[in-house]
Structure 1
Amino acid sequence: MTQPTSADDQPGFRRARSPEHKAQRRQAILDAARGLATERGVRAVTLGDIAREVGLTKSNVLRYFETREAIYLHLSAAGYRDWAARVQQAVRAGQPEPLAPARLAGLLADSLDADPLFCDLLSDTAATLEHNVSLDAVRTYKEASTSAVHTLTAALTGPHTGLGAEAAQDLILATALLTASTWTATHPSATLIELYRASPELGALAADFAPELARLLTLVVRGLRAPA
């Protein structure tokens, strides 16, 4: 009787043994997950899809990441770091002139519109990505996102924004929450798109992501700047 082959025995498979090769394979998995999610949306990508894209079995992908959700939490943490860097750079470019509420809101909206995958990840983090992962995976993600929030808070605090540290943190929280909901609302399913085309009056509330997010954030900034 023929014994079933393991994943390691499959034709073309070569186990990564050195730290360098393991890091390369881990990065290949992340790149595959990023590319698929950019093309299809995070929710539509399975662990099997990622494995096929990178040329591995699911069991071999799990040697590097404990679950599909852990892969996307890792990408979300990287997205937070990149977002903080973009905001920091944009705010510095706007100093020393005080930023009007609409300009500050537009700056934040543009900083997120520059990374569609991160926006999609934000819309899915609390609902699914923080589930089916270990305590260590969630801790790593939270530490990375918290560090990014500290960077964002420092960038958004001062006379150039008209915000104190507490108000800046409130703005960051509001921005993340509004990004998640606005991204979902402005990226309807194929069925809804078809409906809106057939019945434009039903799509009256549909909007483009960046302008809608900027409009909502302008209201938030005005509220945070208003006297108590």
Structure 2
Amino acid sequence: MIASTLAALPVLCDPMHAESGMLERNASVEAVLRHMHATDRWPTRSSASSPPPSQDTGEVIAALLLVAGTSWPYAEPGEALAAAYKRDATVAAMHRDFTTLVQRTLTLTIGGLLAGEDAGSAGAVGRAQTH
């Protein structure tokens, strides 16, 4: 449901794609800090009665933003890439469906987090080492 909702909202996916190139490379420190603090708080704004998100929730949200932002331009190619897909079957085979890619990545991320919980402290240690 998340993936298909995002696919229907190019007005959201386009800025997510542009964010890393623009924010990470072409912004002032003050602008980056404002954005990062606002982004860090947005999951908790959904409901005053909702508990704060867990670390795992944050990791799922980060994976969602990363995969949606980076896969969008490949799934919705510009003119030159679309023409390349039409001209060359080998290149066309590299095309990925946005909804499928986002859904699969989230499934793997959530599955990995759940497997880490099942493994007990080993999962927590593994996650801590990646940060």
Q: TM exceeds 0.5?
A: yes
Q: 1:188 to 1:155 in 2, by over 3 A?
A: farther
Q: Are the aligned partners of 1:175 and 1:217 in contact in 2 as well (CA < 8 Å)?
A: yes
Are 2:66 and 1:172 aligned? no
- Within the candidate set 119, 122, 139, 2:16 is matched to 122
- 2:109 — aligned with what? 220
Compared CA separation, residues 114 and 174, structure 1 to 2 (3 A):
same
Superposed CA RMSD in Å reads 2.5
Q: Cα deviations across residues 150-193 of structure 1 (Å, max 9, x unaligned)?
A: 347x5896xxxxxxx12111111111111111112212231221
| Structure ID, larger Rg | 1
Verify: 1:113 aligned to 2:17, yes or no.
no
Distance 1:199 1:225 in 2: 41
Sequence identity, in percent?
A: 27
- Counterpart for residue 125 of structure 2: none
Asked which structure has the greater RCO (Cα within 8 Å, sep 6+), the reply is 2
* Partner residue, 1:182: 71
TM (norm. structure 1) is: 0.43
> Tell me, which stretches of 5 or more residues in structure 1 are unaligned?
1-106, 158-164
Q: Compared with structure 1, are the counterparts of its residues 111 and 151 closer, same or farther at alpha carbon in structure 2 (3 Å cutoff)?
A: farther
In the other structure, the counterpart of 1:61 is none
- Post-superposition CA distance 1:3-35 (Å, at most 9, x none): xxxxxxxxxxxxxxxxxxxxxxxxxxxxxxxxx
| More helix, by proportion | 2
User: Which of these residues, 128, 148, 154, is aligned with residue 42 of structure 2?
Assistant: 148
User: How far did 1:111 drift?
Assistant: 3.5
